[in-house]
Amino acid sequence: MIGNSELTMKKALHILLMLALFASAASVSTAQIKQSGKVTKPTKTETPKCKTCGKTIDKCQYKGKHPAKCKTCGKTIDKCQYGGKHPTGSPQAEKNRILKELQNSMVWVDGGTFTMGAVLEPDEPHPGYYLDEVRIHQVTLSGFYICKFEVTQELWLAVMGNNPSHDKGNLRMPVNGVSWNECQEFISKLNKMTGKHYRMPTEAEWEFAARGGNLSKGYLYSGSNNLDDVAWYEVPDFTPRVVGQKKPNELGLYDMSGNIREWCQDWHIYYTKDAQNNPTGPTSGTERICRGGSVNYGEGYFRVYTRYHDEPSDNHFFHGLRLAASSL
The CATH number assigned to the domain holding 109 equals 3.90.1580.10
pLDDT of residue 134: 81
* Full domain range(s) for residue 56: 50-86
pLDDT of residue 236: 86
pLDDT of residue 271: 92
Is residue 305 left, alpha or beta, with left meaning phi > 0 and alpha meaning psi from -120 to 50? Answer: alpha
- Residue 191 and residue 66 in one domain: no
pLDDT of residue 11: 62
End-to-end CA distance of the chain: 111
At 300, which helix (H) or strand (E)? none
pLDDT of residue 81: 63
Q: Decide which of 61, 86, 111 is a domain's last residue.
A: 86
- Residue 172 and residue 67 in one domain: no
- Residue 70 and residue 143 in one domain: no
- Residue 63 and residue 202 in one domain: no
- Residue 109 and residue 188 in one domain: yes
Evaluate whether residue 45 is within a structural domain.
no
Which string of DSSP letters, residue by residue, matches 12-78? Answer: HHHHHHHHHHHHHHHHHHHHHHHHHT----PPPPPPPB-TTT-SBTTTSTTTT-PPPBPTTT-SBTT
Evaluate whether residue 30 is within a structural domain.
no
- Residue 236 and residue 112 in one domain: yes
Tell me the mean pLDDT per 10 residues along the chain, length 328. Answer: 53 60 50 47 68 80 77 69 69 93 98 90 53 88 98 97 94 97 98 98 98 97 96 91 97 96 97 95 97 88 92 95 97
pLDDT of residue 28: 43
The count of domains in the chain is 2
How far apart, in whole angstroms, are the C-alpha atoms of residue 39 and residue 170?
A: 53
- Residue 280 and residue 309 in one domain: yes
- Residue 142 and residue 255 in one domain: yes
How far apart, in whole angstroms, are the C-alpha atoms of residue 293 and residue 304?
A: 9
Strands 112-116 and 137-141: antiparallel
- Residue 241 and residue 210 in one domain: yes
Order of strands across the sheet that contains 137-141:
112-116, 137-141, 276-277
- Residue 243 and residue 164 in one domain: yes
- Residue 150 and residue 72 in one domain: no
- Residue 111 and residue 71 in one domain: no
Evaluate whether residue 35 is within a structural domain.
no
